[in-house]
Amino acid sequence: MPTALITGATAGIGAAFARRLAADGFTLVLVSRDELRLAERAEDLKRRYGVAVETLPADLATDQGLTAVEARIGEGVDLLVNNAGFAHPGGFLETPVEDERRMLKLHCEAVLRLTLAALPGMKARGRGGVINVASVAAFFTRGTYSASKAWVVNFSASAATEVGHPRVKVMALCPGFVRTEFHERAGMDPSDIPGFLWLKADAVADAAMRDLALGKLVSVPDLRYKAIVAVGKLIPHNLTALVSARIGR
């Protein structure tokens, strides 16, 4: 059975990937800071899908957590989903620099290190995939969050090109608003977001797996967000920055 390792696997998009991959028969390695929720999620997946599920409690914003997950990846995984992430409740100028550094460590250094831990083994075996969860925010300008997600998109495309093997794929996943715990944890009020802009986490995971199989470097689930990204690319940066500032995060 192929093995998939998913970070941020206890809720939202990470949990949706866990369900999708369990249904596909993957053996799962679930990574999260919350040991209790990891155990609960693992038991639920085992009962529902009859697959083997391993849990690995780790804080990927720390060197200790990253080293532990790197070691597990080194034992062999066929699919890596770098999904763990968060946002700040305030803007860039209102956020302590240590909080910003923690975000960059999780969104950038963790993605870098875990991808690099996975690719040599995948290339040696001649198969494998890495999905790095970014955001539609990567194509706009709004604080450290969007900047870090832009890095994920650029890095993923670069890694996909450099790996040089047709059966080893690296892709950035860029969803829009998804109904998860993300906004609540970030102290955001999502009530002003129009209902038609919300995506379901399971649909995002399905779209990602389809686009990975097609060999896409960047996956933007849903036609609505494909259109938003396409328009955003045509607008000058100073205008997109103004619009982003007016709309908020």
Angle CA 242–244–246, to nearest 5: 70
How many helices (H) and strands (E) in the chain?
10, 7
Give, rounded to a whole angstrom, the gap between the first and last alpha carbons of the chain.
40
From the list 49, 105, 145, 225, the catalytic residue is 145
- Active-site annotation holds for 226: no
Q: Give the residue from 43, 111, 102, 33 showing the smallest Cα distance to 73.
A: 111
d(CA 39, CA 120): 30
At 57 the three-state DSSP class reads strand
d(CA 136, CA 25): 30
Q: How far is CA 28 from the centre of its chain?
A: 16
What is the spatial order of strands in the sheet that 79-82 belongs to?
A: 53-57, 27-32, 3-7, 79-82, 128-133, 168-173, 218-219
- Active-site annotation holds for 225: no
β-sheet bridge partners, residue 147: none
From the list 105, 149, 169, 225, the catalytic residue is 149
Q: Which residues are catalytic?
A: 145, 149
